[in-house]
Amino acid sequence: MAAFPSVEWFDDVRNIFNNEESFRGGGGGQCNCVAGIKVGNEIFVLTFEGFECAGARTASLRDLDEVDFYLDMEIHEWQAMIENIRQNGHAGLGYTLNTLDLDRAERLATSVHGDQYREDLFFRYNQTLQYFFDASSRIATEFAR
Amino acid sequence: MVKAVKAAAKAVKSPHAETVRKAVAAPMLEVPEPKLTWMNKSRQWGVRVKPGKKGLTLGSLNVGIYGEIPMDWPDQTRNPRGAIGRKGMPPVGYMLRSKSQVWADSAADLYEEAIQRRWAPATDVPWNTVKPLPDDLERAVCQVNTELSQYANVEIEVISAWQHQMVYGYHEVKQYLATAGFDAARHYEVFRKRALINGGGLGLEGPGQVNRMILESRGGWTEAVVYLVLVRGLLTQTILRYLERYASNEAESFIYRNVLQDKARLMTYGLDHLKFAIAHNEDQKQIVATLLAIGDGLFIRDFNDPVLREALAIIFGGSIDGARGAGMDVYHDMMRAYISTHLEYCQWLDVPRRVPERLEQYAPQD
């Protein structure tokens, strides 16, 4: 059982996401962006290329300068989202990425560079990003408290 | 061929037999020797573009002379960029012949993205998750979907009205806009379907001042983009985000999320184009600012109409009672989000912008 957050956890999700045909249709499809994931103080970088999430790695705060956008939540917020996805098989109405982005005083999706064009990739690839996290419903997750 | 004609002439005792015999005697039915002179006509031969990880994309074809995209395109025929034009072709009369009038670097990628990320309202939306709603909520959902479908219709008309005015030199833009028109058709379809699936129906037509403003923007495509993207597009995007947040079921969540995604492509094209236009035309920045100021008056007329506001507040509050408190609070949040993002976009474009007095309550406090 992979622990969240870790590269192993993202790799497990990648493995499901990259091999699931249904994620390539229904508003999903090719996605080309580099997304940061900030879980409290821990940072990861996901690279999406074509139909796949090509890689996940640990990163530093400075690496966030380079990503197109990053998703920033505290561990308990990530946990609530992942547990909801696990329960429903996909994000429930209160836990979609768009909803979480709206519900937070500080947005979920943000960037260091402030480049509108790159920040908007969050919306352009929203369904693919949602499918990626929805894929986590198929793995068991352990949370580091 | 000649043998066949002779045989026919013998066999058929028709009034035309004499004509056929004459045709056989004359060389008029002989096939001329092919000249094949067209085979040497190419501005650049031997091009071999290889598919990359994203496949053989439209943008990857821009190699050698095929990647030359000049700032002006005087050729007014339908000659594809990179081909050799025929002499004496009558002009089609394209109005938009300058790169700064249409271009966005992202157009080719957006075209590919639109093709890739298409979805079908008939089968991809989980319609089975739509369950009966309280009457007031269903009426509000139907009213909002009525107005959103009207917005989509305007988008189709505006895009198609300008697309055929663009020269073929900038085909990436024409192709992307073809997908944007198709996206808008899909939106018209899906909003209509949501209105008609759950025992409700279409509601009241929207006031349409902004619709008219966008449709009747005659100054140029860039000017239409200002209204289509910075005003209407951004407002629609913001509404969609809040509708997704307050969706009553998985079907609505899917609809609004996916329309949002399609809309994000048009927003990207629009911002990218305005940035390009501003960078290549000294006056453009001020023109955009002036257009926005003119548009404020019509935007406020639509804004003053209570129908959309009330319907949205009912959705956000879950009922008419809920609309009076929480629903209106969320509506005001939504408007603040719209104005705030609008100002961010203007700042990104370096366009001076002042929030009109009627909307000042939604302006960021800092």
- DSSP notation for B188-256: HHHHHHHHHSSS----PPP--HHHHHHHT--S-HHHHHIIIIIIIIHHHHHHHHHHHHT-SSHHHHHHH
pLDDT digit string, tens, across residues A89-115 = 999 999 999 999 999 888 899 999 988
Q: Which domains does chain B have, with CATH numbers?
A: 102-362 (1.10.620.20)
Mutate which of B109, B242, B244 to test chain A, going by most A C-beta atoms within 10 A? Answer: B244
Cβ-based contacts of A33 with chain B (< 8 Å): none
Question: To the nearest whole angstrom, how far is the Cα of B245 from the nearest Cα of chain A?
Answer: 5
Instruction: Tell whether the model's pLDDT for residue B15 goes beyond 80.
Output: no
Question: To the nearest whole angstrom, how far is the Cα of A9 from the nearest Cα of chain B?
Answer: 25
Cβ-based contacts of A117 with chain B (< 8 Å): 106, 268, 271-272
A vs B, Cβ pairs < 8 A, gives 83
Residue A103 touches partner B, C-beta closer than 8 Å: yes
pLDDT digit string, tens, across residues B54-83 = 899 999 999 999 999 999 999 999 999 999
Instruction: Tell whether the model's pLDDT for residue B134 goes beyond 90.
Output: yes
Tell which residue, B37, B62, B60, has the closest CA to residue B50: B60
Task: In whole angstroms, give the CA distance from residue A81 to residue B121.
Answer: 27
pLDDT of residue A116: 84
Given a contact cutoff of 8 angstroms between Cβ atoms, the answer to whether B355 and B343 are in contact is yes
Sheet holding A69-73, edge to edge: A52-59, A42-49, A33-39, A69-73, A109-110
Q: By CA distance, what is B258's nearest residue in A? A: A27
pLDDT digit string, tens, across residues B232-242 = 999 999 999 99
Instruction: Tell whether the model's pLDDT for residue B25 goes beyond 80.
Output: no
Given a contact cutoff of 8 angstroms between Cβ atoms, the answer to whether B152 and B64 are in contact is no
Average pLDDT, chain B: 92
Share of chain A above pLDDT 70, in %: 99
Cβ-based contacts of B106 with chain A (< 8 Å): 117
Distances (CA, A) of B345 to A116, B109, B350: 7, 21, 8
pLDDT of residue B241: 97
Cβ-based contacts of B270 with chain A (< 8 Å): none
Mutate which of B58, B117, B124, B253 to test chain A, going by most A C-beta atoms within 10 A? Answer: B117
Please name the member of B241, B242, B264 whose beta carbon is closest to the beta carbon of A120.
Answer: B264
Given a contact cutoff of 8 angstroms between Cβ atoms, the answer to whether A144 and A9 are in contact is no
pLDDT of residue A32: 93
CA atoms within 13 A on the CB side of B136: 14
CB–CB contact A120 B267 (8 Å) = yes
CB–CB contact A126 B260 (8 Å) = yes
Say how many residues make up chain B: 366
- On the question of a cis peptide bond just before residue A5, with omega within 30 degrees of 0, the verdict is yes
Looking at this protein, which amino acid is placed at residue B123?
Answer: T
Cβ-based contacts of A120 with chain B (< 8 Å): 264, 267-268, 271
pLDDT of residue B12: 54
Task: In whole angstroms, give the CA distance from residue B180 to residue B113.
Answer: 11
Q: What is the DSSP string of B250-290?
A: HHHHHHHHHHHHHHHHHHHHHHHHHHHHHHH-TTHHHHHHH
CB–CB contact B253 A96 (8 Å) = yes
Given a contact cutoff of 8 angstroms between Cβ atoms, the answer to whether A37 and A5 are in contact is yes
pTM over 0.95: no
CB–CB contact A50 B54 (8 Å) = yes
Q: By CA distance, what is B125's nearest residue in A? A: A26
Rg of chain A in Å (alpha carbons)? 14
Please state the ipTM of this predicted complex: 0.92
Looking at this protein, which amino acid is placed at residue B357?
Answer: E
Instruction: Tell whether the model's pLDDT for residue B219 goes beyond 70.
Output: yes
